[in-house]
Amino acid sequence: PLLEKSSSSIVKAAKDGDLKKLKDLHASGFSLLSIDAQGQTALHWAARHGHRDVIKYLLASSPSALLDMVDNEKGQTALHKAALAKQRAISCMLVAAGASLSLADKERHTPRSLAERAGDADLAIYLESELYSQENFHKNAADNVETSV
> Taking the model in full, what pTM does it have?
0.88
Q: Compute how many other C-beta atoms are within 10 angstroms of the C-beta atom of residue 32.
A: 20
Mean pLDDT of 31-47: 95
Give the side-chain half-sphere CA count within 13 A for 33.
11
pLDDT of residue 147: 58
**What are the boundaries of each domain within the chain?**
8-147
Q: Which CATH number fits domain 8-147: 3.90.1520.10, 3.20.20.10, 1.25.40.20, 3.40.640.10?
A: 1.25.40.20
pLDDT of residue 2: 46
